[in-house]
Amino acid sequence: MRPPDFHLACLVVLVVAPSVSAANLCEPTSEIERAIGEVLAPLPQDAPLEDRLEALRTLRTRFERDLFVHLRYQDEVFERGIEGQLREMLEEYLLLRAGHEGDAFYLYLAGRAFEGRGTKRAVAMMEQVLAIDPDFAPAHRTLAEIYGSKAFRDPRKERDARRKLAAACPTSVIARRPAPLPPQSTFFTRLRESRLTPEQEAAIPAEVQKALLQDEWRALRIRLFDWYETPEQRRTLHAMQAEYWQAWSVLVRHYRRTGRQDEADKLLAEMEGRLLRLQRSRRGTTFPLAARTVLGLYAEGKQPENLRAVLARLKRSLDEHPDPKRASELAKVQAAFVAKL
């Protein structure tokens, strides 16, 4: 026979046990949308990420079991975070999961923190969530995102996840994964296609820096996430390395046009040093471009003695560090400059 206080004990458990409304797993409530807006509104769009995260941490403490507060926090890190911030966010959610053993809500959040960074692990954790609660709609949404991506494409599993999500949350939107990358800078293209005003000429160093930062950020996003396959990551790294040589050549020409020959020569000397290090690197893919850039700038500047000196240093370096591939590349580059020696 049950003790007389059995029903009272069950009632207490029901009252104090944390719960998440099924409806609140589909869309944020108006209260939550308003609260997120209120904590982020005072911060400008270019505010440091840490300022935005601190505001959302405060909100997360206030609404500790609201899914969409947690998702907004995670998405801020996914969209704007660097390696350390992404790792810190993952560790946060693994600790939360450890403190709530068997809770599908925190298991889901920990699994989602792996999405795009360790996506196979994210899939395994979504399956664990659904083993606990087969109707946990956010897990179906995350699986639909993953199986709809190019890197982890599985049309059958995507359709199954979409169907189950639609049954629980008919109006829910499935995000595109990976998210669109930041756009590439068009500065170098525009520079080739237009004549410069004095104001535009003066702004070139700042514009070069801005363009490189924009494209470095794009390259970083591709390197950080496993949505992007290895060949694409390699192509992106090569393009970024090539852009540096283009940027340096733009600066050398700018210094020459504005009568700052000493600065042009100093930068070219630095480029020579990088060229020699690149020649000795087995992994560098931009050596031919780098060699043509340095030699071409000396040819443009009517400095044949510097051109010959660079070629001599490259040949000595090859004698010290033999590399048939680099020797072949150097021979082709040198052939293009024979008339200028």
pLDDT digits (tens, 9 = 90+) for 202-233: 999 999 999 999 999 999 999 999 999 889 99
What pLDDT score was predicted for residue 171? 93
The C-alpha atoms of residue 171 and residue 165 are separated, in whole angstroms, by 9
The residue with greater pLDDT, 162 or 195, is 162
DSSP letters for 178-205: SPPPPPPP-HHHHHHHSPPPHHHHHTHH
What pLDDT score was predicted for residue 23? 57
3-state SS, 156-173, equals HHHHHHHHHHHHHCCCCC
Average pLDDT over residues 132-154: 97
Residue 329 has pLDDT above 50, yes or no: yes
Asked whether the bond before 178 is cis by omega within 30 degrees of 0, the reply is: yes
User: Tens digit of pLDDT for each residue in 252-311?
Assistant: 999 999 999 999 999 999 999 999 999 999 888 999 999 999 999 999 999 999 999 999
Average pLDDT over residues 194-201: 90
End-to-end CA distance of the chain: 104
User: What does the mean pLDDT of the chain come to?
Assistant: 91
Residue 21 has pLDDT above 50, yes or no: yes
Specify the DSSP element, H or E, that contains 327: helix 324-336
What pLDDT score was predicted for residue 192? 84
35 close to 70: Cβ distance less than 8 angstroms: no
3-state SS, 229-245, equals CHHHHHHHHHHHHHHHH
Burial of 251 (0-12, 13-18, 19+ CB in 10 A): buried
Q: In one letter, which amino acid is 89? A: M
Q: For residue 18, give every residue at least 6 positions away whose Cβ sits within 8 Å of its Cβ, in sequence order, or none.
A: 65, 103, 105
What pLDDT score was predicted for residue 323? 92
What pLDDT score was predicted for residue 339? 75
User: What single DSSP character describes residue 181?
Assistant: P
In the chain, pLDDT over 70 holds for what percent of residues? Answer: 93
What pLDDT score was predicted for residue 195? 86
What pLDDT score was predicted for residue 20? 58
Question: Poorest-confidence range of 135-139, 175-179, 245-249, 279-283?
Answer: 279-283
What pLDDT score was predicted for residue 275? 96
Question: Poorest-confidence range of 17-26, 79-88, 99-108, 332-341?
Answer: 17-26
The C-alpha atoms of residue 220 and residue 233 are separated, in whole angstroms, by 9
What pLDDT score was predicted for residue 193? 76
Band the pLDDT of 22: cuts 50, 70, 90.
low
